[in-house]
Amino acid sequence: NAGVTQTPKFRVLKTGQSMTLLCAQDMNHEYMYWYRQDPGMGLRLIHYSVGEGTTAKGEVPDGYNVSRLKKQNFLLGLESAAPSQTSVYFCASSYGQRGETQYFGPGTRLLVL
């Protein structure tokens, strides 16, 4: 099993450009999450999904959109990238319920110039 995979691994964008980050999991997990990680700030939840076709806002959702058309995939979109969105983005998945282990992908490093 590959677990959680993320593409791309690294990307450079210019301000105003758009892009989509793809997360895929092969563990049949119901719940999926997108986080951003910035120095000294831990992981902050952007959006999450509790099942196919459903999404919800997390702690820092502004400037991002998501879609979960298939259970195994969770897409994160940036419609108009800003330098403040320079970060490392992690996708995670879990079976759900309270306190379940979250399994993380290797991350996507995004630089917005």
Binding residues vs another protein (CB under 8 A) = 4, 31, 33, 35, 40-45, 48, 50, 56, 58, 90, 92, 94-102, 104-107
Q: Which is nearer to another protein, 69 or 97 (CB)?
A: 97
Peptide bond into 39 cis (omega under 30): no
For the CB of residue 79, give the shortest distance to another protein in the complex, in Å.
24
Task: Give the pairing type, strands 73-78 and 19-25.
Answer: antiparallel
* CA 72 to mean position of chain CA atoms: 13
Closest distance to another protein from the beta carbon of 59 (Å): 8
Q: How far is the CB of 1 from another protein (least distance, A)?
A: 15
Q: What is the DSSP letter of 70?
A: S
**Over the Cα atoms of the chain, what is R_g?**
13
**Between 50 and 82, whose beta carbon lies closer to another protein?**
50
